[in-house]
Amino acid sequence: MSDVLTRREKIALKYAEKLGLEPQGLDDAFFAMARDAFSDAELVELSHVIAAGISFERALEVFKPRVCSI
């Protein structure tokens, strides 16, 4: 296992990946693990940041070919 990222960073990345690609995989077991590393308030904030990033990426995919060259 890599030491480049902290445990919290690895969990945050796994959360972002699952939220973007496989939200049904975010089960009770995942959140039990996440709560060992993050407080509920931190999970709410992390969820907001991840969701905003995913939404922005999807919006860029819609507008990029039609509106402007980014």
Residue 68 is assigned to a structural domain of this protein: no
pLDDT of 70 higher than 60: no
Residue 44 is assigned to a structural domain of this protein: yes
Residue 1 is assigned to a structural domain of this protein: no
The CA-based angle 22-27-30, given to 5 degrees, is 95
Evaluate if pTM is beyond 0.75: yes
Structural domain harbouring 22: 7-63
Residue 11 is assigned to a structural domain of this protein: yes
Our count of domains for the chain comes to: 1
Residue 69 is assigned to a structural domain of this protein: no
Per residue in 42-69, pLDDT tens? 999 999 999 999 998 888 887 766 666 5
Residue 45 is assigned to a structural domain of this protein: yes
Residue 2 is assigned to a structural domain of this protein: no
Per residue in 10-42, pLDDT tens? 999 999 999 999 999 999 999 999 999 999 999
* Distance in angstroms between the alpha carbons of the first and the last residue of the chain: 36
User: What per-residue confidence (pLDDT) applies to 28?
Assistant: 96
Residue 32 is assigned to a structural domain of this protein: yes
